[in-house]
Amino acid sequence: MGSIADVRARLAAARQEGAAAVPRVALVPTMGALHDGHLALVERAREIADIVVVSIFVNPLQFGAGEDLDRYPRTLDADLTRLAEAGVPFVFAPTAREMYPEGSPGTRVTAGAVGSLYEGAARPGHFDGMLTVVAKLFNIVGPDVAVFGQKDAQQVFLVQRMVADLDLPLRIDVAPIVREESGLALSSRNRYLDEAQRAAAHALSAALAAAASVARGGDATAGQALAAARDAIEAAPMVKLDYLVVVHPHTFLPVGDDYRGPARMLVAALVGTTRLIDNTALDLDTGRTSTR
């Protein structure tokens, strides 16, 4: 299905198909190059809904000049095979022309101040472009629930806020981060890494694990967790740190070094020319941690 009219017509038919109760629709938005992290979102969607729709769209609006839009991995045939094997009948894979017939859309969603921090500071306009396409996908598919990965924590925060701010009639479900055995979070961009870089990239999850372990001691501040994570990053010379920050989960703003309480640690780094991100929850108050 590549056209908006097509996805709407097929979903309308499926919604009505002889059901006394209206089936629940879950949307899983992706940019393709599917890996087990994406498939975990599909599984989650299947648990909580009757109809699962996966969208595959490498959204030009969320890539800046000089970013990897042109070389972003596109593996549509393999993706469709994986989704068919996973039993997903609804795949919406539009062209850029289908989504943006006029080229660049005149109307956009803006992500506000938090949209300019962290990933937004490194990638100006990225979150406006992301929210704009997510709003369009919500309007095209009309899901009851949309499943996002915790891997992109700032994205999750901004999408949840957009849904609240604009009273969009759906719920956001957040699935935990899927990692390799080494700890490296699965990402479509991992395929850019050579063997040495892949080994070095392990430093991101190792840094988060070090912070989590300090927090588990039960009496750590944000500053202490940051120091532990920074040491782990500095031990990997191939990893060029962009940001390492502890944010408040409700505001997504940085907390002070003395802060104790619920928090999330975010990290971004360049390994070679590949930009990688990761995050973990830290409960600096009670020492409870989670890898979600």
Interface positions with ligand AMP (CB under 6 A): 30-31, 37-38, 40-41, 148-149, 151-152, 175, 177-178, 185-188
Q: Are 31 and 72 in contact, with CB atoms under 8 Å apart?
A: yes
3-state class of 191 per DSSP? helix
Q: Helix 153-165 and helix 126-141: axis angle, to 10°? A: 60
- Residue number, 152 or 283, with CB nearest to ligand AMP: 152
- Residue number, 40 or 220, with CB nearest to ligand AMP: 40
In the complex, the smallest distance separating the C-beta of residue 246 from ligand AMP, rounded to whole angstroms, is 20
To the question of whether residue 182 is assigned a binding role by annotation, the answer is no
- Residue number, 135 or 255, with CB nearest to ligand AMP: 135
To the question of whether residue 151 is assigned a binding role by annotation, the answer is yes
In the complex, the smallest distance separating the C-beta of residue 216 from ligand AMP, rounded to whole angstroms, is 22
To the question of whether residue 187 is assigned a binding role by annotation, the answer is yes
> Which candidate in 38, 126, 202, 248 is catalytic?
38
Q: Are 287 and 220 in contact, with CB atoms under 8 Å apart?
A: yes
* CB environment 234-248: b (16+ within 10 A), e (fewer): eebeebebbebbbbe
To the question of whether residue 250 is assigned a binding role by annotation, the answer is no
- Residue number, 40 or 284, with CB nearest to ligand AMP: 40
One DSSP character per residue, 7-37 reads HHHHHHHHHHTT-SSPPPEEEEEE-SS--HH
To the question of whether residue 150 is assigned a binding role by annotation, the answer is yes
| Angle formed at CA 289 by CA 214 and CA 176, multiple of 5 degrees | 130
250 is catalytic: no
In the complex, the smallest distance separating the C-beta of residue 33 from ligand AMP, rounded to whole angstroms, is 7
In the complex, the smallest distance separating the C-beta of residue 30 from ligand AMP, rounded to whole angstroms, is 4
Query: 55 phi and psi, to 5 degrees?
Result: -105, 145
Q: Are 28 and 92 in contact, with CB atoms under 8 Å apart?
A: no
Residues of the binding site for (R)-pantoate: 62, 155
Residues of the binding site: 31-38, 62, 149-152, 155, 178, 186-189
- Active-site residue list: 38
